[in-house]
Structure formats: C-alpha cells, structure tokens
C-alpha cells in the first residue's frame, strides 16, 4: 500500500507542481518588465531614499478652479488635530474666534443641520472632518497627469 502511495506522488504530484512552478516563473518574468510602481524600479528589499518634503504654500488665498470648490488651505495643518472629540481647526475658524485670529469664519453652510436644514450653533457633524474637503497645497511635480477641465 505504502509503495502505491509513493508512486502516485511521483507520477501525478511532481509533474503538477513542476507545471505550476513554470507558469509562476513565466508570469513573474513578464510582469517584472511591465510593472512600474510609483516608488520606481526597486527590489522589494530595497529601501528608497525618503521623498523630499515639499514646502506648503502659505499666505493669502487661492483662487477657485470651479464654483463649488472647497477653498484650499493657505497654511500648514500638521499640528492641528482632528478626531472624534477634538477639532483644532475650530479654535481659529469657529465664529467666536475668527475675528480675533484674523481667520475667515467657516461659512454658514457649515452650521446647517443636514436633515432639518436648521442652523446650529456649532459646526455640524457632516463638516467636522475638514480635511475631507479642504487641503493645503505644496509646490511639487504631480505624481500622475491631471486632465481635469471645468
Ligand atoms: C491658528 C489659527 C488657525 C488654525 C488652527 C487653522 N487655521 Fe485655517 N486659516 C487661518 C488664517 C489666519 C487664515 C487666512 C490666511 C490668510 O488670509 O493668509 C486661514 C485660512 C484657511 C482657509 C482658506 C479659506 C478661504 O476662503 O480661502 C481654509 C480652507 C482653512 N484655513 C482651513 C483650515 C483647516 C481645515 C484647519 C485645520 C486643519 C485650519 N484651517 C486651522 C488660521 C487658522
Ligand atoms: C463636505 C465638505 C466640507 C467640509 C467637511 C468642510 N468644508 Fe469648509 N467649505 C466647503 C465648501 C464647499 C466651501 C465653500 C462654499 C461654502 O461656503 O459652503 C467651504 C468654505 C469654507 C471656508 C471659507 C468661508 C468663507 O466665508 O470664505 C472656511 C474657512 C472653511 N470652509 C473651513 C472649514 C473647516 C475649518 C472645516 C472643518 C471644521 C470645514 N471647512 C469642513 C466644504 C467643506
């Protein structure tokens, strides 16, 4: 019995394994040539040099590219935390602090309850995570081509 089992392994299993190994090697060879990732043509184990840190464009206001565009942020934001409990953007942009900080107040739309349409006293949950819509800009070469038109 044992002998028969061994024969099956030799006759069936080994050719099957060899076949799949060959297919796998061929696929690998083909994809290695065509595959270009954003991190460049580097082996898996290789560590690329760190990407350059681009300066955030600061000061003034950005012009809008289309009418409904959320205004772009003209300052750095990495120190301002936004989580479930805290939103540090609001210590300058909420109505109580805006004038004192010289910051534009979040617009009235940010206080409107989405379901009832009624204005609330604080920013509504749907506008809590500011960076879903507002982003700062850096002076950098685009990673991918952008064909956006108005
Ligand atoms: C320390 C105060 C302060 C904090 C905190 C702050 N901002 Fe600002 N923000 C400003 C000021 C001041 C301006 C106006 C800049 C100018 O006119 O040069 C501004 C401008 C902006 C604008 C441009 C508005 C427009 O109409 O062009 C956006 C958008 C904005 N901030 C979003 C944010 C977001 C999002 C956060 C949190 C991640 C944040 N800000 C945190 C002070 C602040
Ligand atoms: C769902 C997208 C969205 C979110 C989230 C959002 N905003 Fe806005 N924001 C906009 C749009 C769109 C405008 C311009 C039209 C308007 O006023 O509603 C705007 C306008 C602004 C302005 C300019 C107001 C003015 O009068 O010039 C400021 C400042 C601002 N947002 C800050 C914030 C801050 C701070 C947060 C987080 C608490 C936030 N926004 C969250 C979409 C968003």
Mutate to test the pocket of ligand 2, among 62, 92, 107 (most ligand atoms within 8 A of CB): 107
Contacts of range 143-148, beta carbons closer than 8 Å, 24 or more positions apart: 143/38, 148/65
Task: Please name the residues in contact with 81: beta carbons below 8 A apart, sequence gap of 6 or more.
Answer: 87, 88
55-139 belongs to which CATH class?
A: mainly alpha
User: pLDDT for 124-144, tens place per residue?
Assistant: 999 999 999 999 999 888 888
Instruction: Supply the residue whose CA is at minimum distance from atom 40 of ligand 2.
Output: 130
CA angle 73, 130, 106 (to 5 degrees): 75
DSSP 36-75: --TT-S--TTPPPPPPPPPPBP-SS-PPPSSTTPPPPB-S
At 17-64, the pLDDT tens digits run: 888 888 888 877 665 556 677 777 788 898 888 878 889 999 989 999
Which of 65, 64, 59, 62 minimizes the C-alpha distance to 102? 59
Q: Two tokens at 150?
A: 């108005």
Contact 119 CB / ligand 2 (< 6 Å): no
For the full predicted model, state whether its pTM sits above 0.75: yes
| Ligand 2 closest atom vs CA 68 | 12
């Amino acid at each position: 019995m044992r002998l028969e089992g061994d024969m099956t392994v030799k006759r069936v299993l080994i050719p099957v394994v060899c076949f799949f190994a060959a297919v796998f090697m061929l696929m690998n060879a083909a994809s290695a040539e065509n595959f270009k990732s954003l991190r460049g043509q580097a082996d898996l184990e290789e560590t690329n040099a760190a990407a350059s840190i681009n300066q955030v464009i600061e000061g003034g206001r950005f012009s809008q590219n289309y009418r409904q565009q959320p205004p772009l942020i003209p300052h750095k934001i990495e120190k301002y935390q936004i989580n479930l409990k805290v939103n540090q953007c609001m210590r300058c942009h909420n109505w109580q602090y805006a004038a004192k900080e010289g910051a534009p107040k979040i617009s009235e739309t940010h206080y409107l309850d989405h379901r009832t349409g009624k204005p609330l006293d604080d920013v509504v949950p749907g506008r809590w995570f500011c960076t879903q819509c507002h982003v700062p800009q850096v002076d950098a070469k685009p990673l991918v081509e952008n064909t956006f038109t108005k």
